[in-house]
Chains A and B, each alone.
Chain A
Amino acid sequence: MNKFSWYDAKTVNDALEQVNATVSEVLASKVSDQSAVFKCGGTDLLDMMKEGLVAPKKIVNIKNIAGLDAISYHQKSGLKIGANVTLAQMEANAEIKQNYLALHQAVAHAGTPQIRNMASLGGNLAQRTRCWYFRSLDHECLRKGSGTCFARNGENEFHAIMKNGSCSSVHASSVSTALMAFDASVEIAAADGKKRTVKMTEFFVTPGDDSSRESILEANELITAVIIPPSGSKTKSYYIKQGARESYDWAIADVAVVLEVSGSKCKNANIVLGAAAPVPIRSEAASTALIGKEITEQTAKDSAEASMKGATPLSKNAYKVPLFKAIVKRAILKTT
């Protein structure tokens, strides 16, 4: 690993004054070699540094910034989770488990217990894809500035089956799948003291729009919190992740289903697919197929079928289509 200097940021503003690049900018060689980047849990950044993918000159440690590590829940205003809250803290939070079951499930299946102890929520959203070409020093892929997606005609068994026309990587955050299904927003601070709040559906950037990044975050911006609207007694949710392994793995396919129900009838639905496309996506077709219907084996199956309409699997990942259908159906039925 390269040599670097270390800065312990005390406040958000302090941190924003020290940093001068996003990790994505460093990866795409868009900045000079005097880069200073954020680190919270370090589970993604240090991995990339060990692999030699990035060599920042300065690490701005944001882990000890006060006030970013709280989880607060109010029945009326909903849930607010500080960006530095670890996945382990989220997993252990009773209010999340009680009111946002799918989020609890997504967090509990992310990484390993050791990684969840270190990984922060903010870092989870800002992490980069695990596509093996992207993570390989020997492959200058589309996302790192070349014109080539090696996965498209190469080894793509874990890659995207939808919206995969340019880059076919999938986003690594399975927590995002659940957050998007709960219609969460990301609170972002900028250097000039300004804040902006964007919906999860606006937070990610598709490779078609900009292949060098996966989120809207700019170098002078820092995630400070994630806000989730209140969840009523009629809200039912469920999350399923399928990796190559059960113990610990990245999602080959994951789904979060958040339904508003009246009796056994579905009033509203938000069905989000992770690892299907380069960014987590709401499946409007799956939701539409379910809204206004009784939740039954058949309607769940119809919704699952709808979720895969328009799928464009690559040479080695057609199996992900029936896989998604199976877990979407199961997640819907698990809400009843």
Chain B
Amino acid sequence: MDTKKVKFPHGIPGHNLSEVEREIPTGEPPAWPINDDLKVVGKRVKRTDALAKVTGAAKYTSDIQLQGMLFGRMLRSNYPHAKIKSIDTSAAEKYDGVYAVHVFKNAVGMAQAKDGGNSAGFPDVKFAGQPIAGVAAISVDVAEEALKLIKVDYEYLPFVVDLEEAQKPEAPVVFKTDVDQEDRGGGGGGQSGLKTKGNLRGPSTSSFFGGPRGDVEKGFETADFIVEHVYRTQVHTHCSLETHGVVVDWRPDNVTIYASTQNTNSVRHEFAEMFDLPKSKVRVITEFMGGGFGAKHSLGNFGVMAGHLSKKSGRPVSMMLDRKEEHISSGNRPNSVQYLKIGAKKDGTLTAIKQKSHGTAGVGLGAGVGRIAQVMYECPNFSTEQYDVFTHAGPGAAWRAPGNVQGAFGLEQAMDELAEKLNMDPLALRDVIDKSDVRKVERQRGAKQFDWSRRKKPGSDSGTVKKGLGMAQSTWPRFVNLNSTVEIRAYKDGAIEVRSGVQDIGTGTKTILAQVVAEELGMKPEDITIRIGDTLFPTGPGSGGSIVTGSITPPARNAAYKLKLELFDQVAKELETVSSKLSMSGGFIVSQEDNSKKIAVKDALKKMRTEQITTSASRSDDYGGFKMGSFLAHGDLGSVQFAEVSVDTETGFVKVDKIVAAHSCGRPLNITQLEGQINGGVIQGVSYALYEYRVMDNETGHQMNGNLDQYKLPFAMEIPEIETIIVEDYGGRSSTDAYGIGEPANIATAVAVANAVYNAIGVRIYELPITPDKVLKALNKI
């Protein structure tokens, strides 16, 4: 490939901004300057779909109405562990208004046993809520009545739903053989090939950052101080506003799937594979997405069922989960019990980190506690053992920085404790052990905005309601998906259209694509039509790993650049120059030699030889080279969050008063949308810290709070004042140099709150969520 050398901005404005020279493919556009010198990118551009969303015009999957459409519902086991001896669907099939009935032959969306785990041709029931059969009928009510007519003959078996109970030798075993679970487009799964013994799978001792390093025991020998504790986190269920669901329209020539998904591409892939269809015959559409936090990458058993029911009935089938199904079956953030031991020298230098964790993703995999302890700080000796513990409970799924939110809760409380032992400010300790430039700037700017100097000694605030301040940090990798392509069409009437299969999970992908293309073409974002979330268009990345912005905006800019060059070629002669001497701004193509020689872009398009021109581009490898494989770039997405809390020492209730969240994501593209995502991440973090937890009844194996009344999500009064600081951090790594923020926004909040609670009351809470019973226990009041 021909390359050229280009100088890019590098570093943090106001701190260490400089330039870096990169060798990049000739076909890629020149470097953008920093955001101050751009017109559209990095600005507060209004969402392109704001009006459609606030007026209700936007059609989500649950709004899809097709001619002749049926409604699907699934029969779920109300027992956590059983063999199915027989199923009689005859009465349901005869029920008036029923068009199709289907019985699952295989369990989908959970870890798969090597022996298949089937009895009598039916998958074994391994959790209360596991779908068994489905019905498509003229209404949801009719479908639900018909489900009641399906007779299932169960052989009930003993079960276990508690993490600690499941590890006992006498515990009922969930999987009798080794199991694996494929990662579906970034949506979870676990390291393959690990051994299962009883309900214990693992340990996993490595991540894609490598395995253990050094010798931890020798490291502890050289330590002056040791911090050693067990930290616990809860099961956190997915509560997107729009539940999981699809509408499958199976026609003889092709299948169209309207899906509430984070990944149009993986839904197409799974559906094509499941029903043995070529991908060309499967189309997935996600025009508007009602939220997803990691569990919506996969087709899901509901999607498989809707496929069978649509195929059988010859009609479109809408299958949307209800809220209870959402809680019990659609995925969750696994819990954890983490042992963590950290050794340090008097000056703060870390000598060793040892981690051992157990967590349960129910019948799924992925209960590790992430990579944060492995990578955030300089430490020569590190080891981890992470175990999945199987229980008869709904499967875990990816959940906004999988493992890392749990891992941060242990690591960052330990660092807070270490700082106190060392008689150091927590920020000063990080200055010693954290080599990240961007987090250093975030600490400085955050501390100033938050007024960290107000912080008192732990437990020293007077009165019944005690104020406390705390902070925590996070890291998240810069993931890139090279399988990301954008097509741009310019029409004779002046319209510009951007097309990609990438879905907008709701964070504003459409808007940033419009900004990037508008910036390149010297136009306004509202002049660009964005058509995404359709697999008829070139493949885009899944919305997982905070990968979308870094993967899809460079192709968008590259395609726009190609389009621009093509237009230049067409008008250069008329403007009495050559195409390399033309530029595009303010809606005009202008000669750089004589700026009186110009033509409006609209007029140039009218003169095109064809009705439309189409360009398409993907993105090249990281300009600075990948750190690992072809998906992980150098550097990280660092963040530092500060929390201010009030703790009522008589009632035990904690209130988060304020969060200051300092974040970086390379080149920020849209400040308003970034703030929105950071606010969302912080709110979810506060909720994880104080409110949400799945209540499982050990005796019956059912979730008791599978609704939005008893499962406590925060509302307006629970949400603190949130201030965001966005640090520009240029690296010259792609044509936009931009990355996402979705996951980083959520990692540090809960542990920053926990550290603030410690600062308020002088006693540490080692378990989430921090509910009044735990606070009163810590204060010896019960």
Contacts and interface: CB of A to CB of B under 8 A. Distances in A.
Interface of A: 1-3, 130, 132-133, 136-139, 150, 153-155, 157, 242, 244-249, 252, 316-319, 321-323, 325-327
B449 interface: no
Nearest to A47: B709
- Which of A1, A154, A317, A327 has the largest number of chain B CB atoms within 10 A? A154
B776 interface: yes
B589 to A, nearest CB: 55
Contacts of B716: 247
Contact of B695 (A132, A252, A327): A132
B697 A155 contact: yes
A245 B699 contact: no
Given A153-B699, A154-B698, A136 B704 contact: yes
Given A150-B699, A157-B695, A323-B776, 8 more contacts: A150-B697, A246-B718, A247-B715, A316-B773, A319-B773, A325-B650, A326-B648, A326-B651
B154 interface: no
B717 A138 contact: no
B699 A318 contact: no
Nearest to A330: B650
B141 A3 contact: yes
A67 to B, nearest CB: 33
Given A3-B141, A132-B705, A157-B773, A322 B650 contact: yes
B653 interface: yes
Contact of B782 (A139, A155, A157, A319): A319
Given A155-B704, A157-B773, A319-B772, A244 B691 contact: yes
Interface in B686-727: 691, 695-700, 702, 704-705, 709-710, 712, 714-718
A85 to B, nearest CB: 24
Contacts, number: 83
Contacts of B699: 150, 153-154
Interface in B117-152: 128, 141
Contacts of A132: 695, 704-705, 710
Nearest to A304: B650
A2, A248, A321, A323: which has the most chain B beta carbons within 10 Å?
A: A323
A147 to B, nearest CB: 14
Nearest to A313: B782
A133 B704 contact: yes
A247 B773 contact: no
Nearest to B699: A154
Interface string B645-661: 00010111101000000
29 contacts: A1-B141, A130-B709, A132-B710, A133-B704, A137-B78, A138-B128, A150-B697, A153-B699, A154-B697, A155-B697, A157-B771, A244-B691, A244-B712, A245-B718, A246-B718, A247-B714, A247-B715, A247-B716, A247-B717, A247-B718, A317-B773, A318-B782, A319-B652, A319-B776, A319-B782, A322-B650, A322-B652, A322-B782, A323-B651
Q: Closest 10 A-B residue pairs measured CB to CB?
A: A247-B715, A326-B650, A319-B773, A247-B717, A246-B717, A132-B704, A318-B782, A326-B651, A319-B776, A322-B781
B651 A150 contact: no
A138 B771 CA distance: 27
Contacts of A2: 141
A245 B712 contact: yes
Interface in B587-605: none
A43 B648 CA distance: 33
B601 to A, nearest CB: 50
Interface of B: 78, 128, 141, 648, 650-653, 655, 691, 695-700, 702, 704-705, 709-710, 712, 714-718, 771-773, 776-777, 781-782
B702 A138 contact: yes
Contacts of A327: 651
A245 B691 contact: yes
Contacts of A245: 691, 712, 714-715, 717-718
A29 B107 CA distance: 36
B372 to A, nearest CB: 29
A322 B717 contact: no
Given A132-B710, A245-B715, A139 B700 contact: yes
A162 to B, nearest CB: 16
Contacts of B650: 322-323, 325-326
A3 B97 CA distance: 15
A129 to B, nearest CB: 12
Contacts of A252: 772
Contacts of A318: 773, 782
User: Which of A132, A139, A325 counts the most chain B CB atoms within 10 A?
Assistant: A132
B162 to A, nearest CB: 12
A330 to B, nearest CB: 8
A195 B478 CA distance: 73
A321 B704 CA distance: 23
A247 to B, nearest CB: 3
Nearest to A249: B712
Nearest to A322: B781
Given A150-B697, A247-B717, A319-B773, A242 B702 contact: no
A118 to B, nearest CB: 15
A112 to B, nearest CB: 8
A249 B772 CA distance: 15
A157 B718 CA distance: 20
B695 A242 contact: no
A3 B96 CA distance: 15
Contact of A323 (B696, B697, B710, B772): B772
A153 B648 CA distance: 29
Interface centre among A3, A150, A319, A327 (most CB of B within 10 A): A319
B652 A248 contact: no
B776 A322 contact: yes
Nearest to A132: B704
Contacts of A139: 700, 702
Given A136-B702, A138-B700, A318-B782, A248 B715 contact: yes
A153 B691 CA distance: 23
B695 A155 contact: yes
Nearest to B648: A326
B653 A242 contact: yes
Contacts of A137: 78
A77 B691 CA distance: 45
Contact of B710 (A130, A247, A248, A317): A130
B705 to A, nearest CB: 6
Interface centre among A138, A252, A317 (most CB of B within 10 A): A138
A195 B718 CA distance: 45
A201 B560 CA distance: 75
A316 to B, nearest CB: 7
Contacts of B652: 319, 322-323
B93 to A, nearest CB: 21
Nearest to B710: A132
A311 to B, nearest CB: 11
Nearest to B324: A51
A313 to B, nearest CB: 8
A137 B716 CA distance: 31
A320 to B, nearest CB: 9
A228 B736 CA distance: 70
Nearest to A242: B651
A321 B782 contact: yes
Nearest to A137: B78
A222 B653 CA distance: 40
A322 B653 CA distance: 12
B254 to A, nearest CB: 36
B688 to A, nearest CB: 14
A136 B695 CA distance: 13
B457 to A, nearest CB: 25
A316 B695 CA distance: 12
B653 A138 contact: no
A244 B718 CA distance: 10
Contacts of B772: 252, 319, 323
A132 B718 CA distance: 23
Contacts of B710: 130, 132
